[in-house]
Structure 1
């Protein structure tokens, strides 16, 4: 029971610990049991485990979790908040229920830069509230930047091409609201983790997605992919077939031409977004894919830096997302320096 308490608390950084402590008892017993069976009772592992494996819960349990989160937000009558107390506003950028984003405003008197985050989850799961990490929004707000976290349509109901289109559409929505939201529309950076890293890299290398949304690379200052491993899809499907083969097949299919079309590395010939900061932990496939993307971008004359950090396996993969924004996490000052440089 106590383990379930911590699991549920970790599912949405935007909802307070106290609120989930109250929600714990409302979850069906079977769902609590499923969570403990899936992730165990080690508090230090629960958050990263649920970030990776939430989709393995039964649909009934997942629905119960969604209902508890929605009920809690409704009961408090507030939008998600950063650790510093800034309320997020939810914006809609399309007609699908997943085409929504949370906008966390910095306290500014004039237009400010914007960091847009795209969650991971194997292209088939994840959420703008619970897959963002608890440090990003407050940290970037404190730096004087607005922060947005987006949802997008999920596989298998949507194709990866539609997900990339959703990312571009979310950018277009925010820029359309730039005056009201005090966004400096000349200073926008895309950031994504895991599947989200692939999506921001794809939007940053294949101009068709921004073009369809009425935008161009003049509207993007930089792209920060966090520990992605599908920048060259055909190579990754061969490399990691045993561990993630079903997920990649569901997302990218078996057509080699489609796989190539969804590969940021194979789109890295200019034009591209102006600058990339490609971060990874010590996973063999993620390291190789990150280096391959960086090399392809630099060959095309695009500013691209690749940097690795400690952390192995799924734990390290989750930590680079969960801890980014924590001043004590080594990647945080690296990202801060990149943002300061590209935002000028």
Structure 2
């Protein structure tokens, strides 16, 4: 008996030593009941031709007879790390609010560089449009979201249509975007992660979402925070100003006192008291979807 308990404790210790902070948060979120009424209805589902997979979450109460709006959420990690599985806490949070949530993986630096991970994002959107109905999602009501590097993907795909068009995506169903702590205006590159991810592209200005602000952009909510020293608030401020200049629909919220990680942590049940990020995001999405 004691040997069995010891083996279990060693296994737990090994997991804690190797798991990423988002993965630990997802585990804890599940233990305390985060998303208790939602289910993982599609796991390790393949998309595109690069061997990538995605997960699909929805409310237990949802049925295929009543199609739900769809949110595609890209995880962060500076283009070098992270996994869809680590962000189950975010998927469960939005699924509990009535969305069918898709969390795709994408290839990482140094194996690939811009625009490969953007193309991966476009391929995920194409898969969603072709297949999400069988999981109870409404393919005519899509929204994009993501945190940090994932927000860059979500916003760039929405603003620069060439990636989605190349993937065969119909742009009309894209109704809204919520960017959490995303880098949108960071050229010239001055940090190792952006240099590694973006600098090989021969047209660096085309890596910047701020350069694609247009009147017909889908409505955007850009969330930032005053203590974010990783992706500074100026990114959201700059893109908001550019979108306002062309009369696009945009809102920005700067949460006072939160840092880069706390913005996405606040989606989890454990840390929701840090700020109304989930409520504000859902209100915006429901308004435009």
Is 2:11 aligned against 1:23? yes
Tell me which of 300, 319, 322 is aligned to 2:265: 322
Is 2:241 aligned against 1:258? no
Once the 2 structures are TM-superposed, how far is the Cα of residue 338 of structure 1 from its aligned partner? Answer: 0.3
C-alpha distance in structure 2 between counterparts of 1:249 and 1:49, whole Å: 27
- Of Structure 1 and Structure 2, the greater strand share is in 2
Aligned to 2:85: 129
Aligned to 1:277: 221
Q: Which runs of 4+ in 1 moved over 4 A?
A: 48-51
SS in 1 for 2:126: helix
Tell me which of 42, 57, 76 is aligned to 1:104: 57
Aligned to 1:157: 111
**Alpha carbons of 1:288 and 1:25: their partners in 2 closer, same or farther (altered >3 Å)?**
closer
Tell me which of 173, 177, 187 is aligned to 1:223: 177
C-alpha distance in structure 2 between counterparts of 1:309 and 1:298, whole Å: 20
SS in 2 for 1:160: coil
Tell me which of 179, 183, 200 is aligned to 2:133: 179
Q: Which runs of 5+ in 2 are unaligned?
A: 1-7, 28-33
Aligned to 1:115: 71
- By relative contact order (CA 8 Å, sep 6+), the higher-ranking structure is 2
Q: Which runs of 5+ in 1 are unaligned?
A: 1-19, 40-45, 52-68, 70-80
* 8 A contact 1:203–1:210 mirrored in 2: yes
* 8 A contact 1:102–1:148 mirrored in 2: yes
**Alpha carbons of 1:222 and 1:85: their partners in 2 closer, same or farther (altered >3 Å)?**
closer
**Alpha carbons of 1:157 and 1:305: their partners in 2 closer, same or farther (altered >3 Å)?**
same
C-alpha distance in structure 2 between counterparts of 1:232 and 1:153, whole Å: 22
C-alpha distance in structure 2 between counterparts of 1:111 and 1:133, whole Å: 22
Alignment of 1:235-246 (within 5 A): 235=188, 237=189, 241=190, 245-246=191-192
Aligned residues: 266
C-alpha distance in structure 1 between counterparts of 2:254 and 2:142, whole Å: 24
- Of Structure 1 and Structure 2, the greater helix share is in 1
In the superposition, the TM-score normalised over structure 1's length comes to: 0.70
- Deviation per CA, 1:73-96: give whole Å up to 9, x if none: xxxxxxxx9543513412111233
Root-mean-square deviation over aligned CA pairs: 2.8
- Deviation per CA, 1:28-57: give whole Å up to 9, x if none: xxx94xx6xxx9xxxxxx836989xxxxxx
Once the 2 structures are TM-superposed, how far is the Cα of residue 216 of structure 1 from its aligned partner? Answer: 3.7
